[in-house]
Structure 1
Amino acid sequence: MTGSDPRTAPSAAPLTGSAAPCWVTLMTRDLPSAQRFYSEVLGWSFRPGHLGAEFSVARRGDIPVAGIFAVSTAYQVAVAWTPYFSVADADVAAARVRERSGTVAVGPLTLGKGRGVLASDRDGAAFGLWERIEPSTSPPAPDGHAHAWLRLRTRNAFDAAIFYGEVLDWASGRPGCCDVAYEGDEVIVRCEGRPLARISSGAVEAAVDPVVRPHWQVQFPVDDVPVTVAAAERQGGSLVEERSALGGREATLRDPDGALFTVTDLRGPVGTES
């Protein structure tokens, strides 16, 4: 299964609401090379994590934004960015994934300040679950903005919304839960009043192209998409697709190790008014 590893799970989470997207991680084969690439392209700095020499935490200023974990090339693990969702109980959430024909690949495992799970939905899109055990000591994102937002490209957005809603208690009315709204042919996920994820139909499960297969797309906000694309290409990355989207621009890039990610000048996953 394509995905990251729960050992890269967060030491800090931008959102505390139950089932909110809380962290993103990159599984890579060469940690120093990945650090150089993302430092030049996204302006991140890096500090060692608490999980060993092969793990580091990316920061924007003093704010943790992502985890990067290197694995030996002896392991047949796909290089990929993976989102994590905050849950109240990792065991309960993992059981719900299995009950709804998803797959739990790893966990729940106790890691640092929480418990992590690596899973995939029934269409094969990889994601993580994170149960925080100890409170976060890191500051929130400035001005209440997220460091990244998410888009799920899936076979059927409405079926996927039901799956994640049942696993993560979306639209349950519980304190801190995320809400969903059907807007045209997409589903918008709002957490603590802010849109943080979008679910779109049209992915093809058997597609050779990983961009077309069901997957969670991690989107990082940047000031200038063409400038960021040029920086990525100078550092050995490549442009997969650049397009207009929701009143702005976004580009899907491949880093030198093969991981796909998206940069966008939008302020949120549903357009410039987010």
Structure 2
Amino acid sequence: MAAFAQSAPCWVDVQLPDLEAGKRFYGELFGWTFRACDGPCADALSDGKLVAALAAKQDGRMPTAWGVYFATDDIVATVARIREAGGQVITDPVRAGGAGALAEAADPGGAVFGLWQAGDREGFEKRHEPGSFCWTEVHTRQKGRVDAFYEEVFGFQGTDLDTSGAGESGTGGSGVDFRTWSPAGAEPGPDTAVCGRSVITDAFPAEMPSYFLNYFAVEDCNAAAGHAVRLGGRISAPPFDIPYGRMAVLQDDQSAVFAVLQPPVSGKSAE
């Protein structure tokens, strides 16, 4: 059996101007260790298990950003569905040696994501634990088109959530139109959700593009936010409580944006 459900998030990486600075930042923040991989990049490990990759940007015009990859057992067919559903294919499927095959695409709102068809490498070896990936969500202004796109391309089943009473940014923000997506064949709802969609409101600048926000689990959200600042990063959204724990939106010392989530003491993290 594959390690990841079809269309579930299975990997994240970050493109950075300075790879060594990125290793210092995330090594200190999350306790990651690193090993070299093919090209100017490094695998990140937590407790010796793969959790992410850091890569040196090869083109200064590329965004400094975290990217997420969704699992597929037929990358060619998924790319065809992306085109049919109104998305844009940025990079057609290419082999990554024996590790697998990847492609890059954008949804109708412009949010960029990747696809991964596993070979020798399935993806995360650790997730939903401190120091590892736990959630991703797309932030968009084109709710209708984007919902239809992901539900057609990946077979996601959506559940709209009541987000009243939570913070302004990220999962479950107050007044934010938020939907979770569960894989095809699963009973839709928070217990089976693998990712989500949030609407960018008029409170944000019109030039803000659509994007994926990737979350990492931490033991103490407040401490992680403070530590990021001491390492040269910034806080985009200070720690606040949501139905799934306590979160903050941060930037590293090269301006790549990510979120941290401290799950509730008893309960389930946003999976």
Category of TM-score, reference length = shorter chain: 0.7 to 0.9
Choose the corresponding residue for 2:5, options 4, 8, 17: 17
Q: Which residue of 2 aligns with 1:7?
A: none
Q: Which residue of 1 aligns with 2:27?
A: 39
Measure, in 1, the Cα distance between the counterparts of 2:201 and 2:106.
15
Partner-residue secondary structure (3-state), 1:148: strand
Give % identity. Answer: 27
Choose the corresponding residue for 1:222, options 212, 218, 225: 218
Following TM superposition, by how much is the alpha carbon of 1:35 offset from its aligned partner in structure 2, in angstroms? 0.4
Measure, in 2, the Cα distance between the counterparts of 1:141 and 1:148.
6
TM-score when normalising by structure 2: 0.79
Partner-residue secondary structure (3-state), 1:257: coil
Whether the 8 Å CA contact 1:203–1:214 is kept in 2: the answer is no
1:227 counterpart letter in structure 2: A
Measure, in 2, the Cα distance between the counterparts of 1:252 and 1:222.
13
Instruction: For 1:136-215, list aligned pairs within 5 A.
Output: 136=122, 139=125, 141=127, 147-170=133-156, 179-184=157-162, 185-191=177-183, 194-203=192-201, 207=205, 210=208, 213-215=209-211
Whether the 8 Å CA contact 1:115–1:131 is kept in 2: the answer is yes
Following TM superposition, by how much is the alpha carbon of 1:273 offset from its aligned partner in structure 2, in angstroms? 8.2
Cα RMSD over matched residues? 3.0
Whether the 8 Å CA contact 1:125–1:215 is kept in 2: the answer is yes
Q: Cα distance 1:78–1:225, how it changes in 2: closer, same or farther (>3 A)?
A: same
TM-score when normalising by structure 1: 0.79
Measure, in 2, the Cα distance between the counterparts of 1:160 and 1:136.
27
Q: Which residue of 2 aligns with 1:252?
A: 249
2:109 counterpart letter in structure 1: D
Q: Which residue of 2 aligns with 1:11?
A: none
Following TM superposition, by how much is the alpha carbon of 1:243 offset from its aligned partner in structure 2, in angstroms? 4.3
Following TM superposition, by how much is the alpha carbon of 1:209 offset from its aligned partner in structure 2, in angstroms? 6.0
1:181 counterpart letter in structure 2: T
Q: Higher mean Cα deviation, 79-88 or 247-256?
A: 247-256
1:224 counterpart letter in structure 2: D
Q: Which residue of 2 aligns with 1:68?
A: 54
Unmatched 5+ stretches in structure 1 = 1-13, 171-178
2:44 counterpart letter in structure 1: A
Instruction: For 1:97-136, list aligned pairs within 5 A.
Output: 97-112=82-97, 113-134=99-120, 136=122
Following TM superposition, by how much is the alpha carbon of 1:125 offset from its aligned partner in structure 2, in angstroms? 0.7
| Deviations 1:104-158, CA, capped at 9 Å, x for gaps | 1112111132111111101011100111234649855588x97321122122445
Following TM superposition, by how much is the alpha carbon of 1:198 offset from its aligned partner in structure 2, in angstroms? 1.9
Partner-residue secondary structure (3-state), 1:250: strand
Q: Which residue of 2 aligns with 1:233?
A: 229
Whether the 8 Å CA contact 1:158–1:187 is kept in 2: the answer is no
Q: Which residue of 2 aligns with 1:175?
A: none
